[in-house]
Each structure stands twice: as C-alpha cells, then as structure tokens.
Amino acid sequence: MNNSMKRLIVPLLAGAAALAMTTGIAQAQQKKTIALVTNVAADFWTIAGRGLEKAQKEHPDYNIELIVTNEGTAAGQRRELDDLLVRGVAGISISVDDAPHATEELNKVAAKTVLITTDSDAPQSNRLAYIGTDNVAAGRQAGEEIKKALPNGGKIALFVGTMDADNARERVQGIKESIAGTKVELVDVFTDQVDFAKAKANMENVLVKYPDIALLSGLWSYETPLIYDAVKAAGKAGKVKIVGFDEDQRTLRGISDGTIESTVVQQPYEFGYLSATNIIKTLNGDKSWIPKDSKLIVPTKVISKANVAEFAANLKDLLKK
C-alpha cells in the first residue's frame, strides 16, 4: 500500500442534506458535527456506520460522519484529527492505530473537543472513555477456539496489521494466556501495516517456512479472508486450520464450508451507535454513562458452523441498507 492517504467521508443520511437545504444554510452551519475515525476500510466499519445512522435519525440536530481511512499509522490519523479540529467538530470517536505515538495528538484533541476511543484504546491519553471490546478477554476467547481446534496441540501463527495498536497487543496477550501450559506453540506474530499484499506474502511464507504449521489466526478483520485464500491456494484447506477475528463475508463463507473453524466477533454496530449517542450526552452535560474505569465494554461472541447461517443473514441485512 502506498503512503498516500486513502480517505472517505461517508454521508450517513441523504435526508440530512435535504433537511439542511430546506431549513437554510445558517441553521445548517449551527449544527454540531460528530465524527468516527476508523483505522482501516472494512465491512466492520460499514456496520459501525449503520449504528451511526441510527444515532443520526435519533439526533437530526447533529451532523454525524464516518471517516474511513486505509492508512494504519499514527501520522495518517494525525492528519485526519487535525482536519477535524480545523473544521471545529464537537466530538470525535477514533480507533487508535498507534497509541504510544498518538498520545500527544489525542491530548491536543481532548483539550478542544469531546474525545473517546472505540475498538482500539489509548488509555494513557486524556480521552474521556473507551467504547468497545475487552480485547484481552476476546483474545482468551480466540485462544479457547484455537485449543478446541487443536486438541493434541501444534504450531500456530498469528497475523495482525500492527502491534502498535492496543487491540492487537491485547488480543495476542489473551491468546498467549489461553494457550499457556498446553501443547499449542506460537511460532510468531506477523504484521503487515495494513498492506494486503504484505499480509498475503506473510501467510504464504509461513506455509512454506513451517510445513508442519497446524493453525493460522488473523486478528484484524481483513486478515482471516486472506488466510483463507492462502491456505486454499497452497492446497492445505482442511489440513491447516483457521481461527478468525471479526465478521468479514469471506470468513463467514469459510466457516460455512468448513475451511475456517470459528471466529470471534465484536459488535461494531454498537460501537458506532454508542460512540455518537454518548458524545451527544456528554455535550449536553451528562457523563453518567461513563463507567468508573472509563471503559464501556461491548461483549464478543463466537461464530461457528452451528450459528453462522443465522449470523450471516442478520449481517447481510445490515450491510445491504
């Protein structure tokens, strides 16, 4: 992936634009804007956008935007945040790519607007709260699925965009905790900086370097579909097991056809909806929604062959809107 910024601001409701035109430019300009900044382009964030749409319908007096970027770096997100500050937005929710290197920028944002994190946290920053998954617990959940897939143990490899992100480190931590003391051996964690070509090369190289590899697991939403492709291309479908994270359509198809054992899914719809509505509550002076530890946890669940058909049908409804 090149270094140029791939950026998309997703309009949530066409009706909002029509309403602005009919009520006059002056009134439209008085609307406060709330934005959710992603860390990658994926169906995961499309679903989060559906949650934002629900919030938009409930709060037509606000402009609510989903800003999708493919550049998984602190520098890329810094440009997005600076642009939002220049625009004078009232609240920002962000999935932080590189928390240690983003703290200064996040603190600058938090001093000027309501800032929360979602999906990937930056607890050392001055963000108001985190809304999303307990990623250590979710990692343990994935670890249990790995152990279930390998009752006699075996070598595994993990793949993720960057270990600079809190959610990546915490998921790996949870998996390591779950497999500790077992015959499951983690050979390495491979990163790709959200470069799909590099991710694919990582997977192909692992399949060659470790001919006895027993299982591959992708910890960001785009990873598992690429693993699915790599395993099938190598003629090792069914021989090398796969455990995923998140709900990409190809991941669900892989579970349906038996190529993928299972996947741990989050609830991005709730990430979007709760981000917008709780920022609005805060802007209205209500901070009672913030837990004592500043983490509003949205639970995860496991999707396997037993429940994939129902889950996929519900997901299809969300994505087709």
Residue 234 token pair: 């190598």
Quick one: 168 and 129 in the same domain? Answer: no
pLDDT recorded at residue 2: 36
Quick one: 125 and 232 in the same domain? Answer: no
pTM above 0.85, yes or no: no
- Looking at the domain assignment, is residue 43 inside a domain? yes
Domain that residue 31 falls in: 7-133+267-290
pLDDT recorded at residue 192: 94
The last residue of one of the domains, among 249, 265, 281, is 265
pLDDT recorded at residue 41: 81
Site of tokens 């035109």: 21
pLDDT recorded at residue 114: 98
Q: If you average pLDDT over residues 160-175, what whole number do you get?
A: 94
pLDDT recorded at residue 211: 96
Query: What's the sign of the alpha-carbon dihedral 248, 120, 105, 51?
Result: positive
As a whole number of angstroms, the distance between CA 51 and CA 49 comes to: 5
**60-74, 119-133, 242-256: least confident range:** 60-74
Query: What's the sign of the alpha-carbon dihedral 71, 73, 77, 79?
Result: negative
Quick one: 167 and 116 in the same domain? Answer: no
Quick one: 258 and 154 in the same domain? Answer: yes
The last residue of one of the domains, among 265, 281, 302, is 265
Quick one: 67 and 154 in the same domain? Answer: no
Bridging pattern class, strands 213-218 and 184-191? unpaired
Quick one: 141 and 244 in the same domain? Answer: yes
- Looking at the domain assignment, is residue 295 inside a domain? no
Sheet holding 32-37, edge to edge: 7-11, 62-69, 32-37, 91-94, 114-118, 130-132, 295-297
Percent of the chain with pLDDT over 90: 79
As a whole number of angstroms, the distance between CA 149 and CA 300 comes to: 19
Quick one: 98 and 120 in the same domain? Answer: yes
Bridging pattern class, strands 7-11 and 130-132? unpaired
The last residue of one of the domains, among 248, 265, 282, is 265
- Looking at the domain assignment, is residue 201 inside a domain? yes
Higher pLDDT, 222 or 42: 222
- Looking at the domain assignment, is residue 277 inside a domain? yes
**51-55, 87-91, 96-100, 209-213: least confident range:** 96-100
- Looking at the domain assignment, is residue 20 inside a domain? yes
Quick one: 209 and 152 in the same domain? Answer: yes
As a whole number of angstroms, the distance between CA 274 and CA 58 comes to: 12
- Looking at the domain assignment, is residue 320 inside a domain? no
Quick one: 13 and 87 in the same domain? Answer: yes
- Looking at the domain assignment, is residue 47 inside a domain? yes
CATH at 46: 3.40.50.2300
Q: If you average pLDDT over residues 246-258, what whole number do you get?
A: 94
Instruction: Give, in order, the Cα–Cα distances in Å from 22 to each of 15, 34, 56, 72.
Output: 10, 21, 18, 39
Quick one: 72 and 146 in the same domain? Answer: no
At residue 9 the predicted structure's pLDDT band, cuts being 50, 70 and 90, is low
Residue 89's contacts (CB-CB under 8 Å, 6 or more residues apart) are 32, 33, 34, 35, 113
Quick one: 90 and 170 in the same domain? Answer: no
Q: If you average pLDDT over residues 197-217, what whole number do you get?
A: 97
Taking alpha carbons only, the member of 256, 209, 257, 250 closest to residue 227 is 250
At residue 84 the predicted structure's pLDDT band, cuts being 50, 70 and 90, is very high
**3-7, 85-89, 182-186, 222-226: least confident range:** 3-7
As a whole number of angstroms, the distance between CA 135 and CA 174 comes to: 7
Query: Strand (E) positions, the chain?
Result: 7-11, 32-37, 62-69, 91-94, 114-118, 130-132, 154-160, 184-191, 213-218, 241-245, 262-265, 295-297, 301-303
As a whole number of angstroms, the distance between CA 14 and CA 233 comes to: 42
pLDDT recorded at residue 40: 83
Quick one: 259 and 139 in the same domain? Answer: yes
Instruction: Give, in order, the Cα–Cα distances in Å from 300 to each of 139, 271, 296.
Output: 10, 12, 13
**pLDDT higher than 50, residue 1:** no
pLDDT recorded at residue 4: 35
- Looking at the domain assignment, is residue 162 inside a domain? yes
Domain count, the chain: 2
